[in-house]
Amino acid sequence: MSFNVLIVDDSLPMRSVIKKTIEISGFNIGQFFEASNGEEALEVLADQWLDLVVTDYNMPKMNGLQLIDAMKREELLKTIPVIVVTTEGSRQKVEEFLMKGAADYIQKPFTPEEIRQKLDRLLGGEEGGKDGMDECDEGLDF
Amino acid sequence: MEKTEWMNATKASISDVLETMFFLPIEFSEWGGLGKLEPPENDLFLGCRLSFTGPFSGFLLFLVPSKLARSLTASFLGEEEGEVGDAEVTGTVKEILNMVTGKSFSILDDAAVFELGLPEATASWELALSDSEECADRFTLLIHTVDATSVLRACILH
């Protein structure tokens, strides 16, 4: 089984890094999609079947929390897990992300291992179509 | 909140960001404010500024020699320097400042809520530094890598 992933971040380099990190994590990824803010993300979600959304919080036009809110209001989108990857680190903000329905949270800067652990929890082990776990144990280079 | 506390949190944050995501060892010195802070050779640098509000408000300014910015971007993206575009280099400098700022506040006080603006590019070295004349308090860190020195100025407005 392969997974389609949407990466939402207004930073082009950060989208590339998150994508590469997920690619080498050993999960069976079907397609990646990208968006630079919540509005664009909703446009992608309207057209594509996604299994996971990885989103920044602080973005122009529509931030990560607003995106999660919008997804939770839609029957077809509300069950898609969302991981927030952000510089925000206050306890209040983290609680807010999780209460709004984020499945998990990672603070930047992050290591590839942190991303892998979150994906492992959300997408599962064998059932998640993960192969080549050993790839991630070798020296990773952004 | 004392300036020194935030400065120490910022140093820890810079180390964390550059070592975790760029594998770059660094050293710091603090610019004491005497004389003029000169731009890098040939005046080629990338700069960006990020404002914030919260228990205290202000902005941070990050000025990086262009050559180092390109090298950091290539390292970040896992590509050769010749393959990275200008947009990616600018984006990387902005993202570094974004991560450094957010992480510094987490280290300083993870119970406090700060709202970060979006990083904006700044083109003029002198103009960028002159902005901080209005600061109630400020500090300037010089970030030394093997080949180059970058500048991070933090300004507390109130």
B22-53 tens-digit pLDDT: 988 899 988 876 566 777 666 688 999 999 99
Residue of A nearest to B80 (CA): A142
pLDDT for residue B146: 85
8 Å CB contact of A88 and B118: no
Q: How far apart are CA A51 and CA A36, in angstroms?
A: 18
pLDDT for residue A107: 93
Per-position DSSP letters for A39-57, written without gaps between them: HHHHHHHHHS--SEEEE-S
**Mean pLDDT per 10-residue section of chain B, whose length is 158 residues:** 88 94 89 69 84 94 93 94 94 96 94 93 74 81 90 89
Mean pLDDT of the region A32-37: 98
pLDDT digits (tens, 9 = 90+) for A58-107: 999 999 999 999 999 999 999 999 999 999 888 898 999 999 999 999 99
Are β-strands A52-55 and A82-86 bridged in parallel, bridged antiparallel, or unpaired? parallel
Q: Does B87 touch chain A (CB under 8 A)?
A: yes
pLDDT for residue A1: 81
Q: Does B49 touch chain A (CB under 8 A)?
A: no
Band (pLDDT 50/70/90 cuts) for residue A141 is very low
Q: Does A10 touch chain B (CB under 8 A)?
A: yes
The rounded percent of chain A whose pLDDT value lies above 70 is 87
pLDDT for residue A134: 40
Q: How far apart are CA A119 and CA A98, in angstroms?
A: 16
pLDDT at A28 over 60: yes
How close A76 gets to chain B, by Cα (Å)? 31
pLDDT for residue B81: 93
Q: Does A19 touch chain B (CB under 8 A)?
A: no
Positive or negative, the CA dihedral A57, B11, B106, A141 is: positive
Q: How far apart are CA B64 and CA B23, in angstroms?
A: 17
Q: Cβ contacts (< 8 Å) between A59 and chain B: which residues?
A: 118
pLDDT for residue B127: 66
Q: Does B70 touch chain A (CB under 8 A)?
A: no
8 Å CB contact of A11 and B99: no
Q: Does B98 touch chain A (CB under 8 A)?
A: yes
Average pLDDT value over all residues in chain A: 87
Preceding amide of A13 cis, omega within 30: no
8 Å CB contact of B21 and A89: no
pLDDT for residue B3: 86
**Greatest CA separation for chain A:** 41
The beta-carbon neighbor of A89 closest among B76, B98, B106 is B106
Rounded to the nearest 5 percent, the helix, strand and coil shares of chain B are 45, 25, 30
Q: Does B80 touch chain A (CB under 8 A)?
A: no
Q: How far apart are CA B68 and CA B64, in angstroms?
A: 7
Judge whether A102 and A83 are in contact, CB under 8 Å. Answer: yes
The beta-carbon neighbor of B20 closest among A14, A91, A111 is A111
pLDDT for residue B89: 95
Q: How far apart are CA B122 and CA B112, in angstroms?
A: 28
